[in-house]
């Protein structure tokens, strides 16, 4: 079968057709992937931002059809349609039992050498390996969905949509009538905007140095869109100079985290959604941390429980309250994946939103949205790549309000 493999940091993605996959074993499920989102997190593995053992087959935002189940799997059957979750839920650790399964202690334990390429073992990237035609995951990493949901849309729920919407409704718990600023309007950022609209925010300001993204942000629910240079003036106009009730940083860079911090009112909430490097720091002074009494929150996977939140998101999509179709900018074959990531690395923005693992295969169980004749669902004319979290452009954070800044190091 085919898969896209990453041999080493800095190497290009390599599409191979001599990939072997074992399993499923006890408690596991084998899935034929029908679509996968192109996410910046996989580029971060390629360029070394995220430490990850190699070689591996990346991909973590996928959906497909169950083609095999291992011993002990009784509640998922061959033929079921599922969305892949890259967080395994053990159901036993303090986080799972405490209602925070996105922080399950078993995360990473499922990065196993499930594949062989040219006779050599290859790891399942992030435990999911959705850049393959088929993958094997634990039963806890699949969420069954209705068969009539287009699988290219369902794939996006597996990471970008859940992360963005969840940051609003789970992590921050935005209240109706609030003011919100979103710093970074890539694929996850626009889903933060959708979540803020869903939560009833009165003012939603989208901030991105790439002005071409502003129309898309407005289309997903932002009330204003501005470059970083224009944010101070808009802050005065919208909030009277007090600052926003909630700020969401969706880039993962020190200067954008400072921008989000400085744009928030006293006792406001800042949520860091962007996944940045472990070797850079964000300066805060002890005084400002004390005086402004702001809440600075991290956000992993939208603080979500996939078993609860994947079906909820699809219900909201069916009701017309979340836009999934508009997130898809292009549909590609697996063979085109290396070019999509090369374009993303160059900062060219939209390269692909979902791709078909089986574009040459048509037949029963195939989503009509992936047929070669073209999509059968309505599409917005948006030039947007799902889950591309970093934008090229000039970010300028406002200077700290007090001296004696102390470094604050993010914990990976």
Return per-residue pLDDT of the chain as tens, 412 residues.
999 999 999 999 999 999 999 999 999 999 999 999 988 889 889 988 888 999 999 999 999 999 999 999 999 999 999 999 999 999 999 999 999 999 999 988 899 999 999 999 999 999 999 999 999 999 999 999 999 999 999 999 999 999 999 999 999 999 999 999 999 998 899 999 999 999 999 999 999 999 999 999 999 999 999 999 999 999 999 999 999 999 999 999 999 999 999 999 999 999 999 988 889 999 999 999 999 999 999 999 999 999 999 999 999 999 999 999 999 888 889 999 988 888 777 766 543 345 554 433 333 232 322 222 223 323 332 222 333 222 334 444 333 333 332 222 222 2
Specify which residues 333 forms β-bridges with: 356
Distances (CA, A) of 2 to 99, 121, 159, 312, 334: 38, 15, 23, 33, 8
Tokens of 220: 């997903």
> Which residue blocks in 204-325 are alpha helix, DSSP H?
214-219, 231-239, 254-262, 286-291, 306-318
Assign 3-state DSSP to the chain and report helix, strand, coil percentages, each to 5: 30, 25, 45
Which residues are CB-contacts of 84 (< 8 A; sequence separation ≥ 6)? 31, 33, 60, 61, 62, 63, 64, 128, 130, 135, 137, 141, 142, 155, 158
Domains and CATH numbers, the chain: 3-145+329-370 (3.90.180.10), 163-302+393-409 (3.40.50.720)
- Residue 89 and residue 220: Cα distance in Å, rounded? 31
Task: Read off the pTM.
Answer: 0.85
CB count in 10 Å sphere of residue 378: 7
Q: Which two tokens stand for residue 394?
A: 């000039």
Q: What span, in angstroms and rounded, lies between the C-alpha atoms of 377 and 363?
A: 19
| Closest CA relative to residue 201, chosen from 184, 183, 224 | 224
Do 22 and 132 meet the contact criterion of CB atoms below 8 Å apart?
no
CA 270 from chain centre, in angstroms, equals 18
Spell out the residues 6+ positions from residue 168 whose beta carbon is closer than 8 angstroms to its own: 174, 180, 192, 195, 196, 198, 199, 246, 248
Report the DSSP pairing between strands 62-69 and 81-84. Answer: antiparallel
How far apart (Å, rounded) are the C-alpha atoms in residues 265 and 395?
Answer: 20
């Amino acid at each position: 079968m085919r898969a896209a493999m990453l041999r080493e940091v800095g190497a290009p993605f390599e599409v191979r057709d001599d990939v072997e996959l074992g399993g499923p074993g006890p408690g596991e499920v084998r899935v034929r992937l029908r679509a996968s989102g192109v996410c910046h997190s996989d580029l971060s593995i390629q360029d070394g931002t995220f430490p990850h053992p190699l070689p591996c087959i990346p991909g973590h935002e996928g959906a497909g059809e169950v083609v095999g189940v291992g011993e002990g799997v009784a509640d998922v059957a061959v033929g079921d349609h599922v969305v892949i979750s890259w967080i395994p839920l053990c159901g036993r650790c303090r986080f799972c039992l405490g209602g925070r399964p996105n922080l399950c202690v078993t995360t990473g334990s499922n990065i196993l050498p499930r594949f062989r390429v040219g006779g050599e073992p290859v790891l399942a990237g992030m435990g999911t390996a959705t850049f393959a035609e088929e993958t094997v995951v634990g039963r806890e990493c699949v969420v069954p969905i209705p068969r009539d949901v287009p699988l290219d849309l369902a794939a996006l729920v597996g990471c970008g949509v859940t992360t963005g919407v969840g940051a609003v409704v789970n992590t921050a718990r935005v209240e109706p009538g609030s003011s919100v600023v979103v710093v970074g309007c890539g694929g996850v950022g626009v889903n933060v905007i959708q979540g803020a609209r869903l939560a009833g925010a009165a003012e939603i300001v989208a901030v991105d140095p790439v002005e071409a993204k502003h129309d898309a942000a407005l289309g997903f629910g932002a009330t204003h869109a501005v470059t970083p240079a224009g944010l101070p003036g808009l802050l005065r106009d919208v909030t009277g100079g007090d600052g926003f009730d909630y700020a969401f940083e969706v880039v993962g860079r020190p200067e954008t985290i400072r921008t989000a911090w400085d744009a928030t009112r006293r006792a406001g909430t800042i949520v860091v959604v962007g996944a940045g490097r472990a070797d850079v720091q964000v300066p805060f002074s002890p005084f400002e941390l004390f005086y402004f009494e702001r809440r600075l929150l991290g956000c992993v996977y939208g603080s979500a429980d996939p078993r609860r939140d994947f079906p909820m998101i699809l219900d909201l999509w069916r009701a017309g309250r979340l836009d999934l179709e508009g997130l898809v900018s292009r549909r590609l074959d697996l063979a085109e994946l290396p070019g999509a990531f090369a374009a993303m690395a160059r900062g060219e923005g939209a390269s692909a939103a979902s791709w078909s693992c089986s574009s040459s295969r048509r037949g029963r169980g195939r989503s009509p949205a992936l047929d070669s004749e073209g999509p059968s669902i309505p599409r917005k004319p948006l030039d947007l790549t799902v889950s591309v979290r970093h934008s090229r452009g000039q970010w300028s954070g406002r200077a700290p309000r007090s001296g004696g800044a102390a470094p604050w190091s993010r914990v990976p």
